[in-house]
Structures are given as structure tokens and as C-alpha cells.
Amino acid sequence: MKKIETIEYTLPDWIGPYAINDDPSGLTDDEIEQIDKFIERQGIRIVDMLDDSDFKTSNDLTKVGDTCSTFIAHKINNPLCGL
């Protein structure tokens, strides 16, 4: 049976368009690679971004201060099916 876990991450606002809608406009190749590696390492799919943007001294992607929001991700906990 497939179980989908919902996880919240604090991430920089600038990843939203790419992480949710696959829109890399305005991102560098290094930023895209950084986002892709984070998503792959966590085994998630980012599905939403809450409207709670605020400056945070650290976040789950870069560990440095940035304007961040809460991002909602899904993780499928079944080794037989992918995201």
C-alpha cells in the first residue's frame, strides 16, 4: 500500500516557481542544481508554498539568512513506486 507523507520545509522564496511549477526563470544553473539535489536527497515532491514569507536566519536549503516561506512537500513511502 502506498502511503504519502506530508512534510513542511522552510525554504527561500526564490525556489518556489522552479520547485512547484518547473519554471527556472531568473535562476542560475548552480541554484537549479542546488534545488534539484535537495529534492532528490529528501526524496520529495514540493507541491505548495504557504503565504507566510518572512526573513529567517536559517533555512532547510542554504542554512543562511534569506526571505523564506513554508513549503509543503509529499514523500511517497513505498520503495516500489517513485514520485
What share of the chain in percent tops pLDDT 90? 84
pTM, 2 dp = 0.87
Statement: residue 1 has pLDDT above 60? no
Collapsed DSSP state (helix, strand, coil) of residue 39: helix
Residues near 2 by Cβ (< 8 Å), separated by ≥ 6?
76, 77, 78, 81
Statement: residue 25 has pLDDT above 70? yes
How confident is the model at residue 79, as a pLDDT? 59
Query: Are 28 and 14 a contacting pair, CB within 8 Å?
Result: no
